[in-house]
Amino acid sequence: MKVGVLALQGDVRLHTDVLNSLGIKPTNVTIGAQIDELSHLIIPGGESTTISKLLSSGHIFDKLQQRLEDRSISIFGTCAGLILLAKEVLDGRDDQKSFGVLDVSVRRNAFGRQIESDLKEVVLNSINVIEPAFIRAPRIERVGKDVETIGRLKESDEPVLVRQGKILAATFHPELCVSQDCNIVHKIFLEIAEES
């Protein structure tokens, strides 16, 4: 298992810290050539338009698109990462590219502006409850028939963590969490990767 964290912009260090706590030493991915070495990749939160542009200028976008299309890599997108994986971005910008491999429709910043960021309770697999951060979070407005909802907001039952094959995506930041078992979402990602 060779795990990478896309290290172009966003919350790279905290994802790396969670992986280290699970006994995994990840690679910080900054160039396209590193994509070929990976079995798993996390696209962290940040600003989706900026990450999209940096993916292209760093020659990563096309390499990762090919790996996603042939299903030879497991990927976990959080917040901006979810937007980059989504098939439909309802309020996307014209200059923003998406991989379009996750059959969901998302709306950027739907939980409000930065000042409205908050911790919210999320129920995972109808069992575990965690309390991660929602920071200018996207909202999943449509879930395709082949997409499984793994996590829902406790207050409204809306989907916030979904899976389609080797793709896992969250509207929230699982690396910013006040629950006791804050690394549970990363564990789910690594288990999915082994199953697929």
Residues belonging to the active site = 79, 173, 175
Q: In the chain, which residue ranges form alpha helices assigned H by DSSP?
A: 12-21, 48-57, 61-69, 80-85, 184-195
DSSP strand pairing (128-130 vs 74-78): unpaired
Q: How many CB atoms lie within 10 A of CB 79?
A: 31
Nearest-angstrom CA–CA distance, 120 and 59: 36
Nearest to 185 by CA among 13, 4, 19: 19
- List all residues 6 or more positions away from 41 whose beta carbon is below 8 Å from its beta carbon: 3, 4, 5, 6, 29, 35, 64, 73, 74, 75, 76
